[in-house]
Chains A and B, each alone.
Chain A
Amino acid sequence: MAKVFRLPDLGEGIHEGEIVEVLVRSGDPVTEGQPLLIVETDKAAVEIPSPFTGVVQTVHVQAGQVVRVGDPLVTVKEEGEPAEESPAAPAPGRPMEARPPEAPEGLPVPASPATRRLARELGVDLRRVRPSGPGGRVTAEDVRRAAEAAAIPERPAALHGVAPPEAPEPLEEERIPPRAVPPAPSAVSAGAPAFPAERRVPLKSFRRVIARRMAEAWARVPHVSHHDGVDISELERLREELNRKAADPERRLSLTPFLVKAAVAVLKEFPAFNARLDEERQEIVLKADYHIGVAVDSPRGLVVPVLKDADRKSITELAAELRALSQRARSGELSPDDVSGGTFTLTNIGALGGRGFTPIINYPQTAILGAGKARLEPVVTGTLDEHTLTVRLILPVVLAFDHRVVDGADGARFVNRLKALLEDPKVLLVSL
């Protein structure tokens, strides 16, 4: 008997994915566990193994297509079965002719021309609309519903995943809503007219998820950003010394694991920042784990792999884990587990520069810590009348937090404590 293999539930919150690659063709023998396709979900690229052993009869999808959980991927004929699937056609009569069931490659979605026009107008991809009509026909109502659903993002099932920490970058081309009425041509406008050369890039996969998450976090969370500068001169001396001693240049320590460790120490003192707001039940859920997400700039966009149990790992361990995660992020090999479960997020864009920025919270977390590029700055200490001028290495930091959960004063205290830890490594050491 031929079995249809559908996109399985890949885990928390994942309900669709883009087919990156189809690894089998019809006629190929497959064994259970053999990879059939690679699907890129909101969170990671996942190899989908075959649950059956047999011969691939039909591949229902192609690379680039977006599939939802439950969509048919591949039909596999199990061993020892007749080659053809018997169609359940009623009373086949003489004037009919049956053809071998090599399924038509991508029949257009059944929908009336008016519905198709509506879909274009509302920017809805018909293939992604759940049809309500008989025979899988998409109705105008289905399209409207899909457009509304796209406008109001659904609540994610869990707290983790992709969340680029800074404000969303402008897309390659901004979608300009279609004008209903074209501009009246001006007869008097002389000379060569200006022609906008526009190019449309579909919002796909990661970019779409980033867009949705950002909009959701920004819309739901009243953000407050608290900025400060941290004197990391001493920490920097310590780091340089450690790195000089490290034999393997691969094992050099960056600032990030120190920031993670310091953040964890402060979070322990201020548990409301390691929390989420349960809006339905009107409760603040304080987390017992310290899973710190770290934003990584990958070729496909920003991803946030999570350093699990950061409180129980040493700075060197965290550094090694971060290196491994970043590598996987850049090669697109992060597993859904790598990006799930974060309770607080760190975003360090110092490598790229920046004096200050306002990160967007990785919703539904409560806070995100951002760091810019450390610079040598003149620092004046003392009183108005008696003062000294020194040059110190100052790291711009910003804490963005959910004002529903904590107040501005809490944020200031959090950052003050963080400063104290980072400015004197001895204090950091005793807090670990």
Chain B
Amino acid sequence: MVMGELSQETHVAVIGGGPGGYAAAFRAADLGLDVTLVEEEPRCGGTCLLRGCIPSKALLQTAEIIWDAMQADRRGIRFGAPELDVAKLRAWKDGIIDTLASGLHRLANKRNVQIVRARAFFENAHTLRLEGSDITHLTFRHAVIAVGSEPLSPPGVSLKPGGRIMDSTGALAAQDIPSRLLVVGGGYIGLELGCAYAVFGSRVTLIHRTERILGGVDEDLVRPLVKRIHELFESVRLETEVEVLREDADGVTAVLRGPSETREERFDRVLIAVGRAPRSRGLGLEALGIAVDAAGFIQVDAQRRTSVPHIYAVGDVAGHPMLAHKAMREGKVAAEAIAGMPSAYDVQAVPAVVYTDPQIAWAGLTETEARRKNIAVKIARFPWGASGRALTMDAADGLTKILFDPQSGRILGMGIVGRGAETMIAEGVLAIEMGASAEDVALTVHAHPTLSETEGEAAEVFLGSATHLYVPGT
């Protein structure tokens, strides 16, 4: 250990090496600023890369292969029962993470972004105290807080690292395929991981606190997924909560309280996926007077400045939606604002994707939100049953819908359920950002046969000119 306290000065201190943090750091460095990124873990990448989006997609993609093989029977192909080598799957998944994480460090090096491995606390408005590093203090002119979020647990449930009661991190580590898995929480994380494990062979029980899974997402988009999980899961129980979880040597006893009865059941593992909370505590923000709202989110303006104007906050810690791509944009905006550019976070649509099979994606205004806020919209739907491409993919239960401003025909929102929704939603996002109208999308030629056609045709439904759907005139 080094003797004494060594301090360093930097122009921009970025706290947290996730997508928000590294996007801010790289952009600031590209704009000529001296940047130091403080990350407490050995690798950058944050939740997204190390224990979120990327590993979960590795598992889900694998599940999709197995699922497709199982469904191939109806096309006249028969595969044997899949054999899953969990250790190999894990190694393959970890290899992807290694590639991407070391890539980030190379990119940082090339840009002269210094990465310091330490835990950072604000000692005052211009100094960070670093724990675990040879540099004990970092003084800065501007700071970007990008410390992200962490999984929540229900009251009374405690998680041990490597235990049978896991959060998403534990589930993504893929220790084994439990024969009985309890998933607590019907949000996107619980559904994605529940589906993957179900396809890998676990008998999955999903419990959800309210009467609808994916609350807040339009019901017509969720419907095909509800149908699928009823096939895939052993049991789906709504309006059900965990009363007790007891872990022992060879399993977990769960007491589940549903609307009509309270049951005790045994599981091999339990996945807790009841949401995430911003990690704004313990950074020393209070002493600086940085405003944090009741939910723990740091309050920021259009430039992502906090109430202390030379300190910025981006990503999950700065508010919903907790999505990597929103964090990256915010990080760039903050870096540009620090460099004196007239940047602002004026994004009109942040796409959201649930990577289940079928996938659900939406952007901009949702039907649920329009109804809640009493916003006048016209909604055009194109069911995938009318799409040739969807039929060849066994995806007839998919749906593309677009929300329009009734007067101008301007596109306000888009929702998609079905395979490939993750990619297709991009057209909707671009349309919303460009202020495009139904005609703009309808008159854009979409390749045939593709799923993207359903977007053009949905716009044509609004205009009354759809080809593959007969809409009786008035």
Contact = CB atoms under 8 A, between A and B. Distances in A.
Contact between A and B in the complex (any CB pair below 8 Å) = yes
Interface of A: 87, 89-104, 107-113, 116-117, 120-121, 123, 133-137, 178-182, 184-185, 187, 190, 192-193, 195, 197-198
Most A-side CB within 10 Å, residue of B31, B374, B406:
B406
Interface in B299-330: 309-310
Contacts of B462: 96
B341 A89 contact: no
Contact of A111 (B141, B341, B435): B435
B449 interface: no
A89 B408 contact: no
Contacts of A93: 380, 461, 464, 471-473
A182 B340 contact: yes
Contacts of B433: 112-113
B33 interface: yes
Interface stretch (B39-47, B61-69, B342-350): B342-350
B133 interface: no
B405 interface: yes
Contact of A89 (B340, B371, B382, B406): B406
B463 interface: yes
Contact of A116 (B310, B346, B374, B380): B346
A174 B17 CA distance: 36
A112 B471 contact: no
Nearest to B302: A120
Interface string B325-368: 00000000000001111111010100000000000000000000
A92 B33 contact: no
A117 B344 CA distance: 8
Contacts of B309: 197-198
A104 B464 contact: no
Interface of B: 9, 11, 31-34, 126, 139, 141, 309-310, 338-344, 346, 348, 370-371, 374-382, 405-410, 412, 433-435, 437, 439, 461-464, 469, 471-474
15 contacts: A89-B406, A90-B464, A95-B380, A97-B377, A97-B378, A99-B371, A100-B374, A109-B435, A110-B434, A121-B342, A134-B437, A135-B408, A193-B126, A193-B141, A195-B141
A99 B370 contact: yes
Nearest to B469: A95
A135 B410 contact: yes
Contacts of B310: 195
A247 to B, nearest CB: 58
B31 A182 contact: yes
A91 B471 contact: yes
A351 to B, nearest CB: 38
Contact of A135 (B9, B33, B370, B437): B437
A71 B33 CA distance: 45
A192 B124 CA distance: 12
Given A185-B11, A192-B126, A197-B309, A178 B461 contact: no
A337 B375 CA distance: 42
Contacts of A179: 339-341
Contacts of A195: 126, 141, 310
Contact of B474 (A91, A95, A117, A197): A91
Nearest to B370: A99
A91 B434 contact: no
B342 A94 contact: no
A110 B404 CA distance: 13
Contacts of A192: 126, 139
Given A112-B435, A182-B32, A185-B11, A103 B376 contact: yes
B144 to A, nearest CB: 15
Contact of B463 (A90, A123, A135): A90
Contact of B461 (A96, A108, A123, A133): A96
A112 B433 CA distance: 6
A120 B9 CA distance: 32
Given A97-B378, A195-B310, 13 more contacts: A91-B463, A92-B464, A92-B474, A96-B379, A99-B370, A103-B376, A104-B376, A110-B410, A180-B341, A182-B33, A185-B11, A190-B9, A195-B141
Contact of A102 (B33, B126, B375): B375
B181 to A, nearest CB: 39
B434 A178 contact: no
B33 A98 contact: no
Most A-side CB within 10 Å, residue of B32, B342, B410, B473:
B342
B341 A178 contact: yes
A197 B346 CA distance: 23
Nearest to B401: A95
A91 B463 CA distance: 7
Contacts of B348: 108
Nearest to A96: B378
B408 A187 contact: no
A94 to B, nearest CB: 6
Nearest to A194: B141
A328 B280 CA distance: 52
A71 to B, nearest CB: 16
B27 to A, nearest CB: 11
Contacts of A103: 376
A192 B310 CA distance: 14
Nearest to B381: A95
A178 B342 contact: yes
Nearest to A184: B32
Given A91-B474, A107-B405, A178 B340 contact: yes
A342 B11 CA distance: 55
A104 B375 contact: yes
B411 to A, nearest CB: 10
A337 to B, nearest CB: 38
Contacts of B339: 179, 182
Contacts of B461: 93, 95-96
Contacts of A117: 343
B471 A89 contact: no
